[in-house]
């Protein structure tokens, strides 16, 4: 049994190996543009961890990634690959923004939850077609969700610029152009920041940090997803279908039904991804609303090996990378996009490391099992 712990340790080692490799590649890239990698990495760390605001911004930055990572992971567990989180959260965010400014006079405890539900439903809505096409027409969800991402971009663009654009922006006459954005969301739908709560704990978060209650909500969701996957009958079916749909089917589980539910669930969670930004930092949706959380979510899910705890850690890591990169860009003149390269390399090396490690572990386990039965 002690061996089991060794396997767990090995299993955990692969993300570390991946990070180390990515750091190495990053160093080469940084050196290639004539900077000193050691110095750059040092700036990254000190900037991210020596300042209280940085820590808060890291958590804020990790928040959407927890949601998108969980969304991707649930689809992965069911043997599906939801690359459509990107489009799903944009649709969810848009509908939330709509419900946020269109409904007025609601008390906060009604309006805010309502907006969150609307966002989730929006995400699920945008995941409906791909899973339908998958189950009924055999269209691979990867291609259909990517197509729907592009369609979502255009659709949102149209809806923001041509249909719902805020025409009453309080601009001083003659100064600049109006922003292409939706009207501002009612205060009753905004998510409170955590400053007050943290102040109770003696932590004084600066004003420019937008860390809000979506972060603890994301943590709670991760716990919920953990229990869903490992402790419910539905989670059991989800995993069964993900590993072997044919055997699940023979056991009376309907793989299509499970996959549909899992994918819609993934869409529901995806839909909420953008809300931490929308309901605290922006307060409205515009054409420059942050994109890419969906794709980064894939990286987060892979880094976290589709386990909720791992996803939280991976999201924090990516939050750190982004914040650190801002520091590096400002103080060392290294482009922020180094981070995207790091992320890409990390995913590739984590999947390779996991594959190699997994095979090794399986071989060891089989040896052990054979030993027991012979």
Partner 1 sequence: MVSELLASAIRMGLPVLLAALGAVYSERSGVVNIGLEGMMITGSFWGAVGAYYAGPLAGMALAVAASVLMALVHAVVSVTFRVDQIVSGVALNILAYGAARFSSIALFQKATMSPHVQGFTPISVPGLDQVPWLKPLVTNLSPLVVVGFLLVPLSYWVIEKTVFGLRLRAVGENPLAADTLGLKVFHLRYAGVLLSGVLAGLAGAYLSVEHTGMYVEGMTQGKGYIALAAMIFGNWSPVGAMGAALLFGFAESLSFRVVESAVVPYQFIKMIPYALTLVVLAGVLKRTRPPAADGIPYEREEA
Partner 2 sequence: MAFLELREVTKRFPGVVANDRISLEIDRGEIRALVGENGAGKSTLMKVLSGLYQPDAGEIRLDGRRVVIDSPRRAIELGIGMVHQHFMLIPRFTVLENIVLGSEPARGGLLREREARRIVGELCQKYEFTLDLGARVEDLSVGAQQRVEILKVLYRGAEILILDEPTAVLAPQEVRELFVNLRHLRDQGKTIIFISHKLDEVLEIADRISVLRRGVLVGTVRREETERAALARMMVGRPVLLELEKGPYRPGEDRLVVEDLTVPGPGGRPAVRRVSLRVRAGEIYGIAGIEGNGQSELVEALSGLRRASAGRILIGGVSVTEATMRRMRPVTEGRVRRARPVAEGRVRRLRELGLAHIPEDRQRRGLILAMTVWENGVLGLHRSPSFARRGWLQVRPIKKHAQSLVREFDIRLPGLDIPVRNVSGGNQQKLILARELGREPTLIVASQPTRGLDIGATEFVRQQLLRARDRGRAVLLVSADLEEVLSLSDRVGVMYGGELVAEFRPGEVTPEEIGHYMLGGRARATEAAVGGTRGADGAGGTGGAGGGVGPAGGTGGAAGADGGVRGRGGAGEAGGTGGGMA
Q: Is the dihedral of CA 93, 98, 100, 106 positive or negative?
A: negative
Please give the backbone phi and psi of residue 334, each rounded to the nearest 5 degrees, phi first.
-100, 130
Tokens 């649709």, located at residue: 91
Q: Please, which of residues 314-373 interact with partner 2 by CB under 8 A? A: 355, 359, 362-363, 365-373
Q: Is 42 in the site for partner 2 (CB under 8 A)?
A: no
Q: Which CB sits closer to partner 2, 104 or 136?
A: 136
* Residue 204 contact among partner 1, partner 2, none, beta carbon within 5 to 8 Å by kind: none
Token pair for 48: 């991210």
Q: Which CB sits closer to partner 1, 217 or 298?
A: 298
Q: Which CB sits closer to partner 2, 42 or 367?
A: 367
Contact criterion met (CB below 8 Å) for 81 and 75:
yes
CB atoms under 10 Å from CB of 103, counted, come to 17
Contact criterion met (CB below 8 Å) for 286 and 81:
no
Work out which of 64, 255, 274, 324 binds partner 2, going by CB under 8 A: 255
Q: Taking CB under 8 A as the rule, which mask of x and - marks residues 243-282 in contact with partner 1?
A: ----------------------------------------
Q: Which CB sits closer to partner 1, 144 or 280?
A: 144
Tokens 């923001």, located at residue: 160
Q: Which CB sits closer to partner 2, 105 or 138?
A: 138
Work out which of 23, 114, 139, 256 binds partner 1, going by CB under 8 A: 139
Q: Is 231 in the site for partner 2 (CB under 8 A)?
A: yes
Query: Interacting stretch for partner 1, rule CB under 8 A, among 51-59, 168-176, 178-186, 334-342?
Result: 334-342
Q: Which CB sits closer to partner 1, 62 or 321?
A: 321
Distance between the two ends of the chain, CA-based, in angstroms?
18
Contact criterion met (CB below 8 Å) for 219 and 66:
yes
Question: Angle, to 10 degrees, between the axis of helix 85-102 and the axis of helix 255-272?
Answer: 50
d(CA 26, CA 23): 5
* Residue 150 contact among partner 1, partner 2, none, beta carbon within 5 to 8 Å by kind: partner 1
* Residue 371 contact among partner 2, partner 1, none, beta carbon within 5 to 8 Å by kind: partner 2
Contact criterion met (CB below 8 Å) for 150 and 161:
no
Token pair for 168: 């009453």
Residues in the chain: 374
274: which residues sit within 8 A by CB, 6+ positions away?
A: 64, 89, 90, 92, 93, 96, 119, 289, 290, 293
Q: Is 77 in the site for partner 2 (CB under 8 A)?
A: no
Q: Is 41 in the site for partner 1 (CB under 8 A)?
A: no
| Beta partners for residue 271, in sequence order | none
Q: Please, which of residues 50-109 interact with partner 1 by CB under 8 A? A: 81, 83
Work out which of 51, 184, 226, 239 binds partner 2, going by CB under 8 A: 239
Q: Which CB sits closer to partner 1, 50 or 140?
A: 140
3: which residues sit within 8 A by CB, 6+ positions away?
A: 364, 368
d(CA 10, CA 353): 10
CB of 253 to partner 1, least distance (A): 23
Q: Is 234 in the site for partner 2 (CB under 8 A)?
A: yes
Contact criterion met (CB below 8 Å) for 319 and 58:
yes
Q: Which CB sits closer to partner 2, 306 or 338?
A: 306
Please give the backbone phi and psi of residue 212, each rounded to the nearest 5 degrees, phi first.
-135, -175
Q: Please, which of residues 121-180 interact with partner 2 by CB under 8 A? A: 134-136, 138, 140
Contact criterion met (CB below 8 Å) for 304 and 314:
yes
Token pair for 222: 């991760």
* Residue 64 contact among partner 2, partner 1, none, beta carbon within 5 to 8 Å by kind: none
The residues binding partner 2 (CB under 8 A) are: 1, 4, 79, 134-136, 138, 140, 231-237, 239-240, 243-257, 355, 359, 362-363, 365-374
The residues binding partner 1 (CB under 8 A) are: 29, 32-33, 81, 83, 129, 133, 137-140, 142-144, 146-148, 150-151, 154-155, 157-158, 161-162, 295, 298-299, 302, 335, 337-345, 347-348, 351-352, 355-356, 363
């Amino acid at each position: 049994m002690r061996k089991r712990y060794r396997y767990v340790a090995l299993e955990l080692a692969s993300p570390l190996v991946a990070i180390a490799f990515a750091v190495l590649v990053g160093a080469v890239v940084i050196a290639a543009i004539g900077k000193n990698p050691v110095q750059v990495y040092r700036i990254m760390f000190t900037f991210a961890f020596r300042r209280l605001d940085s820590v808060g911004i890291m958590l804020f930055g990790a928040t959407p990634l927890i949601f998108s990572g969980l969304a991707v992971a649930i689809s992965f567990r069911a043997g599906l690959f939801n690359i459509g989180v990107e489009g799903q959260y944009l649709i969810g965010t848009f509908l939330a923004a709509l419900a946020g400014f269109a409904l007025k006079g609601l008390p906060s405890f009604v309006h805010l939850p309502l907006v969150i539900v609307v966002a989730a439903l929006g995400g699920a809505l945008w995941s409906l077609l791909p899973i339908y096409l998958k189950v009924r027409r055999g269209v691979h969800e990867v291609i259909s969700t990517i197509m729907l991402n592009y369609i979502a971009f255009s659709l949102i663009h149209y809806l923001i610029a041509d249909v719902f654009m805020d025409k009453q922006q309080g601009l001083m006459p003659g100064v600049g152009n109006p922003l292409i954005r939706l009207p501002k969301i009612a205060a009753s739908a905004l998510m409170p920041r955590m400053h007050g709560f943290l102040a109770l704990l003696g932590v004084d978060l600066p004003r420019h940090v937008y860390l809000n209650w979506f972060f603890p909500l994301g943590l709670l969701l991760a716990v919920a997803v953990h229990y869903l996957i490992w402790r419910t009958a539905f989670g059991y079916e989800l995993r069964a279908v993900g590993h072997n749909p044919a055997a699940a089917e023979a056991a009376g589980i309907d793989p299509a039904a499970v996959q549909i539910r899992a994918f819609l669930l993934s869409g529901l969670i995806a839909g909420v991804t953008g809300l931490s930004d929308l309901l605290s930092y922006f307060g409205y949706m515009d054409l420059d609303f942050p994109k890419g959380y969906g794709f980064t979510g894939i990286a987060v899910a892979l880094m976290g090996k589709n386990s909720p705890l791992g996803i939280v850690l991976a999201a924090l890591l990516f939050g750190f990378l982004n914040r650190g990169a801002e520091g590096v860009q400002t103080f060392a003149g290294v482009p922020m996009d180094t981070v995207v390269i790091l992320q890409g390399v990390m995913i590739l090396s984590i999947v390779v490391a996991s594959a190699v490690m997994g095979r090794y572990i399986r071989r060891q386990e089989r040896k052990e099992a054979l030993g027991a039965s012979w």
